[in-house]
Amino acid sequence: MAYLTDLKRAVGMGSAREGTKRHWSMTKSSVALLILTPFFVFTFGPMLGQPHDAVMAYFARPFPAIVAALMVVTSFMHFKTGVQMLVEDYVHGLAREITIILLTCLSYGAAATGVFAIAKIAL
């Protein structure tokens, strides 16, 4: 049994004033993904099993390239916010900070790689 005062128990556990902002960020990206996913499936799906030249020509068009790029960016930013909330809840100490930094770098790196690949195809 810990003999801590209420103040000692509450220090460091209070509001960081970010909860509402992060909740709205997740909600907006969820709605964006809800709208983008069918567009992505219906633009990406017909290209499965097609020859390389046909896929390259198809994604060189503006609409499929834009849909794919929006899907990649929105997905990885949603991933970044969600995994950051998960790590903040379940990882403690220095491991928390290192994990958040690594996962943030991973999500930005993956998004940049995806956008670069789509831009290289489209341009």
Rounded to 5 degrees, what angle do the CA atoms 22, 25, 28 make? 150
Q: Report pLDDT for 19.
A: 75
The structural domains of the chain, with segments of one domain joined by +, span 21-122
Residue 57 predicted with pLDDT over 70: yes
Stronger pLDDT, 7 or 55, i.e. the higher one: 55
Instruction: Specify the fold of 21-122.
Output: 3 helical TM bundles of succinate and fumarate reductases (1.20.1300)
- Among the ranges given (18-22, 42-46, 118-122), the one the predictor scored with the smallest mean pLDDT: 18-22
Query: Most distant CA pair in the chain: distance in Å?
Result: 71
pTM of the model: 0.82
pLDDT-based confidence at residue 55 (cuts at 50, 70, 90): very high
- Each residue of 103-115: pLDDT tens digit? 999 999 999 999 9
Token pair in block for residue 83? 């995994």
**Band of residue 5 on the pLDDT scale cut at 50, 70, 90:** confident
The CA-based angle 89-29-44, given to 5 degrees, is 120
pLDDT digits (tens, 9 = 90+) for 65-84: 999 999 999 999 999 999 99
